[in-house]
Amino acid sequence: MTQAEQTPARGKKKSAARKRTPKDPTKPKAAKALKAAPPPGAAAEGGSPSKSLFEDFDALSEYLADVTGKSQEVVREFFTKNAETMKRAPTISADPLNIRESFQEMMNSLAADPGTVMQRQINLWGDYAKLMASMSRRMAGEDVPPAIEPDPGDRRFSHPAWRENQLLDFVKQSYLTYAKWLRSTVSQLEGMDEHARKKAEFYTQQFLDAIAPTNFPVLNPEVVETAIETKGENFLKGMKNLLDDLDRGHGELAIRQADLEYFKLGVNVATTPGKVIYQNEIMQLIQYDPMTEEVAKRPLLIFPPWINKFYILDLQPQNSFIRWMIEQGRTVFVVSWVNPGPELKDKTFEDYIRQGLFEALDAVKQATGEENVDAIGYCIGGTMLATALAYMARKGDKRIKSATFFTAQADFKESGDLLLFVDDAQLDAIEKQMDAAGGVLEGRAMATTFNMLRSNDLIWSFVIDNYMKGKDPAKFDILFWNSDATRMPKNVHLFYLREFYQHNRLAKGEMVIGGERLNLHEIDIPIFMQAGETDHIAPFNSVYRTAKLFGGPVTYMLAGSGHIAGVINHPSKKKYHHSTNEALPATVEEWKAGAERHPGSWWPYWMSWLNKTSKGRVPARRPGDGALKPLEDAPGSYVKVKA
């Protein structure tokens, strides 16, 4: 489609606006998408001059004048309603991540080597000179390749205007040039220890993500088009979205990633039929109804992370891992962790093992009569499972006959960017934050940390959609779950960060639980390790290091995608891929070199492994058949408690 076909003349737009009834300003006729201006002198099809993306700004200003008045009323109403909240003093440091300290150290390193700084400046000027020369040639009508391109996976600049509009292309390439220069400069600094350098690199990337031209409405072509189509109503809706999120966060910005009203637990998510058959102060145990006449002899017991809620494994019928497992003929139990308040602040990591894992094992025996189980641990639930298995090995406890780990680590030496948050200064700041909250870590704090690991996808894309485009949050089950954060008791969380992340004691054989010094090599049961190719929370190389620590037979499998989509990949979706290699060589690079890649979900491959490991069939068991009587319907009440 030509530019003239896509962009109506400005005069016609005004005429159409005059004819439209003023009674319904929220439903304007959508403007056709704007394209970029061709080289000077070019004309659109039909002979009329082509228009720049920004030539409709004078018409847009008429719309914004009306919207400005409305937005003032919205803001006035918000601050009147939340006057007391806005006066409330903050309970945490203004710099809880100690960014100031990291950048001070970086600036000291720069000041110590002025010669290198000058050379780096000259390099930047040279890069900009090349860019200016390239753009000058393009403006003269030459077909010139760009001086710099976004990374292939960078979706921020996917709109055609970033390539076709000369002004936007220059802005884009200027930003990319500066970003490349700044990253390179920080990475080459001398006089900083490795941890300080990596912190500086991480926070530099956060800064670069924040100043991207896509985050400025006047430069983002998608925002400009939306403003023209809606006659500026997107900004009014965006203002309402922003104030709603501030209200929901009690004065702190709580960005909505999904429609929080659409999904209801037990109604359209977490709907697999089952019963809560046991509970204590830190967990409920759910047993699900069977869907086959016979089931595997050994029950399957799942330990999800307590950082999030268990229903990531039971979203909707078409992508529920739990439902799929039941359909394969398994008796499935899952632990639903409590969303703890200050009354549980003194709970320890060992309490979670004893009251969470050991009491769940006891309850499964009472419910089914079976002494032995197959177990799954997801993320931190897998870290707990590995710790418990090492303890059970010392005690001769053989109730868990096989263990599967979903993106879980026991060796944290190469655990990625999360290591940046676990030095002494960071942990002291987190401890103060938890003390201010009554002895728990608020769910939003951990969610913010995870979102920072992928800030363009999990922060800035929602800022653009929610506040600039004024879009309604998506009805997306995974993002709804991601927004349903949980709190964590102070002692549990600090133990996890200090003992595992900071000191890596379990992998080193230095961790003591219940008076026993733990050694993962003493675990000799069959182990299945699942990792994700793009996992930014439990990197696949870190999971591989964990796989090498166990003493029994270990199967390592690498799935396409990341920490969530790499796990929740129903076979019917026919998405992604997975790689397998029966060997377990010294390094993950060797493993990948010998691996075979397969299309689609890894679930059937794992089920084949489990069927070989866990044999025998019995008549299907229903909740309540054993010694434990149902307490309430799944998904239970603990999971419904909001942070």
- Residue 379 annotated among the catalytic residues of the structure: yes
pLDDT value, residue 52: 45
Residues in the chain predicted with pLDDT less than 50, given as ranges, are 1-54, 85-96
Separation between Cα atoms, residue 605 and residue 601, nearest integer Å: 8
Pair 579, 519 in one domain: yes
Is residue 111 one of the residues assigned to a domain?
A: yes
Same structural domain, 170 and 75: yes
Residues 162 and 211 placed together within one structural domain of the fold: yes
> Which position has the token pair 């001398």?
190
Q: Are residues 234 and 291 in the same domain?
A: no
Residue 375 maps to a domain: yes
Q: Which of 480, 507, 540 is the last residue of a domain?
A: 480
Is 24 domain-assigned?
no
Residue 624 Rama label (left phi>0; alpha psi -120 to 50; beta):
left
CA 555 to chain centre: 26
Number of structural domains in the chain: 2
Residue from 283, 385, 379, 266 nearest 336 by CA: 283
How far, in Å, are 124, 134, 147, 184, 311 from residue 129 at the CA level?
9, 9, 10, 18, 54
**CA separation for the pair 97, 603 (Å, rounded):** 38
In-domain check, residue 269: no
Residues 299 and 413 in one domain: yes
Residues 245 and 101 in one domain: yes
Instruction: Based on the fold, state whether residues 281 and 163 are members of the same structural domain.
Output: no
Whether residue 249 is contained in a domain is answered as yes
Are residue 280 and residue 217 in the same domain, yes or no?
no
User: What pLDDT is stored for residue 61 in this prediction?
Assistant: 59
CATH code where residue 517 lies: 3.40.50.1820
Q: Is residue 151 part of a domain?
A: yes
pLDDT of residue 93: 45
Whether the Cβ atoms of residue 350 and residue 496 lie closer than 8 Å to each other = no
pTM of the predicted model as reported, rounded to 2 decimal places: 0.81
Are 324 and 451 found together in one domain?
no
Best CA proximity match to 344, nearest among 435, 439, 436: 439
- Coil/strand/helix, residue 514: coil
Domain boundary among 480, 509, 542: 480
Say whether both 112 and 240 belong to one domain. Answer: yes
H helical segments located in 231-342: 233-248, 321-327
Phi and psi torsions of 487, nearest 5°: -85, 170
Domain-embedded: residue 331:
yes
- Rounded CA gap, 148 and 126, in Å? 13
Tokens 């409305």 correspond to what residue? 70
Domain boundary among 480, 506, 531: 480
Same domain, yes or no: 223 and 307 = no
User: Does residue 157 fall inside a structural domain?
Assistant: yes
Which pLDDT score is estimated for 97? 54
Expressed as residue numbers, the domain containing 511 is 274-442+485-640
Place of tokens 């992508």: 319
User: pLDDT tens digit string along 122-153?
Assistant: 888 888 899 999 889 988 888 889 999 999 88
Tokens linked to 596? 């075979």
Q: How many other C-beta atoms lie within 10 A of the C-beta of residue 482?
A: 18
CA–CA distance, 619 with 276 (Å, rounded to integer): 21
The set of residues, in sequence order, having a beta carbon less than 8 Å from that of 14 and lying 6+ positions away, is: 59, 62
* Listed residue (245, 237, 222) closest to 74, CA to CA: 237
Q: Per the structure block, which two tokens stand in for 94?
A: 């203004």
pLDDT at 249: 78
The one catalytic residue in 242, 254, 334, 379 is: 379
User: What is the structure's pLDDT at 170?
Assistant: 94
Q: What residues pair up with 598 in beta bridges, in sequence order?
A: 578
Do 78 and 203 have their domain in common? yes
